[in-house]
Amino acid sequence: MDATRAADHLAQLIRIPTVSRRDPEQVDQSVFGAFRERLAELYPRTHRELELELLGTGAMLFHWRSGNGAQPLVLMAHYDVVPADGQAWTRDPFAGEVVDGVVHGRGAIDDKGALVAVLEAVESLLHEGFRPARDVYLSFGNDEEVAGTGARTAAQTLAARGITPWAVVDEGGAVVTGVFPGVPGPIAVVGIAEKGVVDLELTTEDAGGHASSPVRGGATARLARALVRLDEQPFPPRVSDVVLALVDTVGRHAPAGHRALYAHAALLRPALAGLLSRAGREASALVRTTVAITQLEGSRAPNVLATRARAMANVRVVLGETAESAIERIRGVIDDPSVRLEATRADDPSPVSRTDNEAWATLTAAIRAAHPAATVTPYLMVQASDARHFAQISDSVYRFMPFDLSSAQLASLHAADEHLTVAALARGVAFYRELLQRS
């Protein structure tokens, strides 16, 4: 495997700005077409020896035949990226620069890095004459950042053909250090479930009028009061069985003080929930339903009272709760019938994947081969991914990016200065090679 070549390929693909936007009219589909054309040039063997279907508006589904009837492995990634508008990048986000062993640009990690790692592994194995022991599907979505309809179509396509994947691997956790309280050393966190997602619109209305003669308790004031109540009364923390599995695995590597707590985690759930809820934003998100206010609207003019005030809340629903129960608690916290709630999206948490089977054992062995110093553990993924669509047809859906990432790199996801080291990319390729050969 040529790490320099892999980095150059990733840089070239970053330069093609496959930006997804909520409004389909603002998406340049010709750019996505150019990306697929460049992909065929960079990975000719994959395109020549695997069967490719285009689904929907541009999702890609490759089929690598094994010649036997074993359940297939599905490797996933997506090639759309979020916009870089309004962000303070120190480099051009779509220049695709490789400087001092680092690939810079939008999508370097999320998720063109994983896509390149998959294809580099497949291309190199094809060059070596390798044939998989089971069929392999490569499912590359084109709209994960906004809708995930491409991945949904891919899952539905396999289901319609009676195909039940042996395992599915998509983006998710990574190899991280220092994110779990009291636990040193690298940890490879593999999402075996993901939180539910609710996009909740909060609106309230008023008569409006001239701003020179305002009334108390107008639309904007009532909405502001509702938002403050939500901020002041977060959901209570709760420790799910998935988080317990995480604690049981990594807690064995903690210093004595923390290890005593982690060893009795099942009996000390309230204390553990409190510890994690105060350990930082990432740890807190593991144990509670979160509410993030992402959009606010009021009057369109500075001297006009708002006739309608609106806010959008992005709610991430923890295991053990549902989208409906989360909405009802929010309604109770707000305690104002003049503030109307409407869910524009409401997805419950995903099913929990198995960790007692051959698929999990093979995955963990591949991770250890590429990252020998890392402790492998299941965890709850707090973000949403395309993998949730495949949870309907497989009980072994795993969310893992095979890269060792720093806190700064994790913070750059969907933000400025996203970057991936060439060495981490090479270890990602090694992981997929191991997984394909061990499967």
The CATH number of residue 241's host domain is 3.30.70.360
Q: Is the pLDDT of residue 260 over 70?
A: no
**Residue 230 in domain:** yes
Query: How many Å apart are CA 22 and CA 275, to the nearest integer?
Result: 37
pLDDT digit string, tens, across residues 86-123: 999 999 999 999 999 999 999 999 999 999 999 999 99
377 forms beta bridges with: 189
What proportion of the chain, given as a percentage, has pLDDT over 90? 81
Whether residue 212 sits in one domain with residue 168: no
Check residue 251 and give its pLDDT: 73
- The beta strand positions in 51-166, using DSSP E, are 51-55, 59-64, 73-78, 97-99, 102-104, 136-141
157/168 Cα distance (integer angstroms): 15
Q: Among 321, 347, 373, which residue terminates a domain?
A: 347
- Give the Cα separation of 251 and 255 in Å (integer): 9
Residue 59 lies in a domain: yes
Which residues are CB-contacts of 48 (< 8 A; sequence separation ≥ 6)?
Answer: none
Same structural domain for residues 134 and 282?
no
Q: Are residues 274 and 403 in the same domain?
A: no
> Does 209 lie in the same domain as 288?
yes
Does residue 91 sit in the same domain as residue 230? no
What's the pLDDT score for residue 271?
76
Task: Say if 184 falls within a structural domain.
Answer: no
Residue 213 banded pLDDT, cuts 50, 70, 90: confident
Q: Report strand pairing: 308-317 vs 290-297.
A: antiparallel
Phi, psi of 316 (to 5 degrees): -110, 115
Q: In this predicted model, what pLDDT tens digit does every residue of 370-415 receive, in sequence order?
A: 999 999 999 999 988 999 999 999 999 999 999 999 989 999 999 9
Number of domains forming the structure of the chain:
2
Same domain, 419 and 340: no
Whether residue 367 sits in one domain with residue 289: no
Domain boundary among 329, 347, 365: 347
* Confidence (pLDDT) at 181: 64
Q: Are 394 and 168 in contact (CB under 8 A)?
A: yes
- Please tell me the predicted confidence (pLDDT) of residue 304: 93
Record the tokens describing residue 301, joined without a space: 């003019």
Q: What is the pLDDT of residues 42-92, one digit of tens each?
A: 999 999 999 999 999 999 999 999 988 899 999 999 999 999 999 999 999
Among candidate residues 316, 347, 378, the one where a domain is terminated: 347
User: Of residues 185 and 159, which shows the higher confidence score?
Assistant: 159
Q: What is the pLDDT of residue 246?
A: 84
Determine the length of the chain: 439
Which residues, 6+ apart, have CB-to-CB distance to 77 below 8 Å?
Answer: 111, 112, 114, 115, 118, 138, 139, 140, 141, 170, 171
- Find the CATH number of the domain harbouring 19: 3.40.630.10
Residues 205 and 126 in one domain: no
**In this structure, are 227 and 366 located in the same domain?**
no
- Residue 280: pLDDT band (50, 70, 90) is confident
Spatial neighbors of 156 by CB under 8 A, at least 6 apart, are 389
Task: Give the domain range for residue 363.
Answer: 3-175+352-438
Sheet with 196-205, edge to edge strand ranges = 290-297, 308-317, 196-205, 340-347
In angstroms and rounded to an integer, the radius of gyration of the C-alpha atoms of the chain is: 23
- 402 touches 427 (CB < 8 A): yes
Does one domain contain both 295 and 396? no
Does residue 303 lie in a domain region? yes
366 shares a domain with 313: no
| DSSP code, position 19 | B
Query: Within this chain, do residues 267 and 338 fall inside the same structural domain, yes or no?
Result: yes
